[in-house]
Amino acid sequence: MDQRFFKKAHKIKGYTLIELLVALGILGALLALALPGFQDVIESSNTNRQAKNFWVSLNLARSEAIKRGINVSICASNNATDCNVNTWSAGWIVFVDNNGDADGAVGSIDAGDIVIRVFQTAGAGSTHTFTVNLFSYDNLGFGAIGGVQTFLICPATNNAANARSIEIGASGRGRRIDTGLVCP
């Protein structure tokens, strides 16, 4: 074999243990500084996703009410089959209230109703509150419940900067609010 190969191979050096420990120390310090900010970004992303899911369910319920010509409702559900009062944090159901008897109480969905879609927020860890137990759209796409209704999503840390809200006017259209919110 060529002598030049062995001379080059002998000159190649690696990193010393001290150099590796210094690099790991610097990396650890950078991670310690960045981690709290990264957790804040994850929390904000999580509440944004949940707000978008609720926005999608509102648009779905509104379009189905217009298309079918009958009231379509949204209620809180912790079991994905029936309405349950004040369990918005577990999820919600969009359904057609064929017989008009839904009030958002436990068991509001009966044999005459049609479940359109179930939204679950499993593992979200945030708190969802809504000013009503049941929100409905009429056949013209207007909110069947008068006044302004507010859906609030607060993260598990109650950091109001990462909270999101959707305010639904009497016209049935919602608007998203990202600032000036207060978590309980």
Q: Are 74 and 54 in contact (CB under 8 A)?
A: no
Q: What domain range is 85 assigned to?
A: 12-177
Q: 3 lies in a domain? A: no
pLDDT of residue 86: 81
| pTM of the model as a whole | 0.77
Q: 102 lies in a domain? A: yes
pLDDT of residue 124: 63
Q: 70 lies in a domain? A: yes
Shortest CA distance to 151 belongs to which of 131, 181, 177? 131
Q: 98 lies in a domain? A: yes
Q: 103 lies in a domain? A: yes
pLDDT of residue 168: 93
Q: What is the CATH number of the domain that holds 125?
A: 3.55.40.10
Q: 182 lies in a domain? A: no
Q: 136 lies in a domain? A: yes
Mean pLDDT by 10 residues, the chain (184 residues): 58 79 91 79 88 92 94 89 86 88 77 88 78 90 87 89 91 89 86
Q: 145 lies in a domain? A: yes
- Number of separate domains in the chain: 1
- In the sheet that holds 149-154, the strands lie side by side as 127-130, 149-154, 164-168, 174-177
